[in-house]
Structures are given as C-alpha cells and as structure tokens.
Amino acid sequence: MTKKEIERAFIKYVKEYQDLNGVIPHVFDQPPTALEFLQKCVHPNRPALIKGAFDHWPANELWTDEYLRMKMKDQKITVAVTPNGQADAVTYDPKTDQEYFVMPHEEQMTFDSFLTHLGSSSQQQKEQGTPSSSSSPAYYISLQNGSLPLEYSDLEDDIDPDIAWCSEALGCQPDAVNFWFGDARSVTSLHKDPYENCYAVLRGEKTFILFPPSEYMCLHESTYPSAIYTPSKAGFDLTPSPGIQVPWIPVDPLRPDFARYPRFKYAKPMVITVRQGEMLYLPSLWFHHVSQAGENGVIAVNYWYDMNYQHAMFPSMGLTRRLVSEIIDGQPTLDMASDDDDDQ
Ligand SMILES: O=C(O)CCC(=O)C(=O)O
C-alpha cells in the first residue's frame, strides 16, 4: 500500500465516524444514572453536557474571592506563569528560528498574590481591549495530577470527593481531582488525556473545541524539542531542555494554518461552551482545546478517572499514530510508553 492509499483509507475512516455521529453533544437536563451515563457516554466514547450535576455543592455559594482568600490563608500554591497565556504549547522562537514545545514557568505564591496578579491582568485587558493584547504575564492555576488535595485541601469540604454516578458507572474512584483558576488570557492547546474527565465550571465559562480520537490524522502530531519559560529582565526567555523531545499537536483550531496542516480540513470540531453550574463529560482520548471567559476569572474543578486500558481504543490509537506519523509523515517513532504529553 502506498502512503497516499493509507491516507485515503484514513480519510474514509474519519468521514465514516463523522457521518455516524455528527458533532452535537448529548445534553442531560439532570444528572444521569450510572447506567444512562455508561450507555450514552462511556461505552460510545461520546461527550455530554450535564446540567444540575453539582447544584448541591456548598462551593456554589461559598467560593467568592474573599472566602477563598480567607480559607487559603498563607498556603503556597503553584501557578503557571507565561508571557502570553500559552503553556504547554508549540511555540515559535524567533531567536533560534525554531518551534519548541514550551512549558510554563511555575511560581509558588500565596493565593492572595495570585488574586492580585489576576486582578491587575483583568484590569489591563479591560483597558487595552483583547486578552492577547495585554503586555503583563498570564497567571493560571492549572497544576494537575491531584492539585485539589495537594494544595487546596482547605476547600475539599465544599465539593464532593467524586462524581457519584461516574464512580458507580466506572467502578472506581477518581485518580485525580484538580482545581483550575484563570482568565481569558490563558488558553490550553490541543491535546488528549487517558482519562474519563468530569469537568465542572463554578465561575465564568469555558469553551471546549473537541475532536474525536478518529480525527487524529487531521491534527498533524509531531515531535518538538522541549523548552521552558524562564523569567528575565526583558520578560521571559525560552530556555531549551536539552535532549527532551515531546510529541504534540501543532494545529490551533482558532487560527488553523491549512497550508502547513492540510489534513485539518477533514476535521469537524464539536464546540461546547460549559457555563457556570454545568459539567462536561470529556471522554478519554478526545483531543481538546480550552479557552475561557469571565468578568471575575474562571474557576473549575475536574475529576479524572483512569480510562479502561483494556478497551481496544487504546492500542488502536497507538496503531493510528504509528501509521499516520511514522508511515504517512515519515517521522521517528512516537513511543506511547514514554509519552507524557497526555497529562495536560
Ligand atoms: O481547563 C483547561 O484549561 C484545560 C483542561 C484540560 O485540559 C483537562 O481537563 O484535561
């Protein structure tokens, strides 16, 4: 089979999935039972918007800035700081004329200092117009792998420790619960995770642009040398991390460059805005790009449940990556085992 023939077979596969499923998510007007959740979401690996999933959480009423400041006291938290709100993203460095996978500078600060930074950044955005025109750094609480028990244990009583119908459906407890707080400047670039994700928005709104695992071939994954933002007198420097290569998706679905990424024309995004009080079920291995908006910042909590690795979808993704990246695009191996791109 030639590369062209393999590509044509993938285009058919992408279209067949699209024809069968469309791009409209299921909406639950009230939380599903475990069985409904399994049947409509987990088994078919389809996203859903869920209303009323956490109406009973005290956090809905309690989590004002004043309350959060008071509860968090002098507890140090980890904040991702970037010049442009783009952490963990493929970024062009004009100094070296090269693209890197760039990680944020992580700063330890009190919650109070975080709110002060976020407040002055929002003020600047209001004065200067669009979020991207701001010249001050972007601050985003986006630490993962269980940030809630690690750094926000004083807030744990204000929410549920798990999502009951999801735990019942999957037969396990969440692997990690994360706390997110940012503003319109911070955007999360396209990536996937090996988790079933229940994502609750408590303040503001988040827009998820989603692509199913079947659309992997449209996203032009490639490997990039890794670098990290380091604060400098002039703002930030991009410091390369020698010897580290990271596989990542370079396509920006908000400004797609079809000349560089022509297969993106076959992709059909599912766009879901999750408003305050709503929850998104984001199935494992779906690619997601996340942006946010809210006058007073955007707060969310999400629950990551390990995906079922016995499901054929996991090795199928490995096979697809090998065929597309290695055979069609002629790139070196994207080794799934050493692939920690999946934890954004
Ligand atoms: O909210 C965000 O900015 C990113 C969320 C995300 O990537 C995730 O929950 O896996």
User: For the segment 244-261, what is each residue's pLDDT rounded down to a tens digit?
Assistant: 999 999 999 999 999 999
Contact 178, 148 (CB under 8 A): yes
Q: Calculate mean pLDDT across residues 166-188.
A: 98
Q: Which two tokens stand for residue 43?
A: 């088994």
Q: Decide: 77 and 109 in contact? Cβ < 8 Å.
A: yes
| Residue identifier of the C-alpha nearest atom 8 of ligand 1 | 344
Which ligand 1 atom minimizes the distance to the CA of 199?
Answer: 9
Out of 118-122, 151-155, 161-165, 181-185, which region has the weakest mean confidence (pLDDT)?
Answer: 118-122
State yes or no: pLDDT of 161 exceeds 50: yes
What pLDDT does 338 receive? 46
One-letter amino acid for residue 104 of the chain:
P
Average pLDDT score, the chain: 94
Helix ranges restricted to H, 194-333: 313-321
- Atom number, ligand 1, closest to the C-alpha of residue 178: 9
pLDDT tens-digit series, residues 10-55: 999 999 999 999 999 999 999 999 999 999 999 999 999 999 999 9
How is domain 3-343 classified at the CATH fold level?
Answer: Jelly Rolls (2.60.120)
Q: How far is CA 317 from the centre of its chain?
A: 18
Region at 152 (left for phi over 0; alpha for psi -120 to 50; beta for the rest): alpha
CA gap 293, 208 in Å, rounded: 12
**For the whole model, what pTM was predicted?**
0.95
Average the pLDDT over 153-181 and give the result: 98
Centre of ligand 1 to C-alpha 7, Å, is: 30
Q: Using DSSP, state whether 275 is helix, strand or coil.
A: strand
pLDDT of residue 335: 66
Given ligand 1 and candidates 141, 177, 197, which is best to mutate, with the most ligand atoms within 8 Å of its CB? 197
Q: Ligand 1: which residues within 6 Å by Cβ?
A: 142, 180, 188, 193, 197, 199, 206, 288, 290, 302, 344
Structure letter (DSSP) for residue 324: I
Report the nearest-CA residue for atom 6 of ligand 1: 344
Phi, psi at residue 253, to the nearest 5°? Answer: -65, -15
Q: Which atom of ligand 1 is nearest to the CA of 182?
A: 3
**pLDDT per residue over 197-223, tens digit each?**
999 999 999 999 999 999 999 999 999
The number of the ligand 1 atom at minimal distance from the alpha carbon of 302 is 9
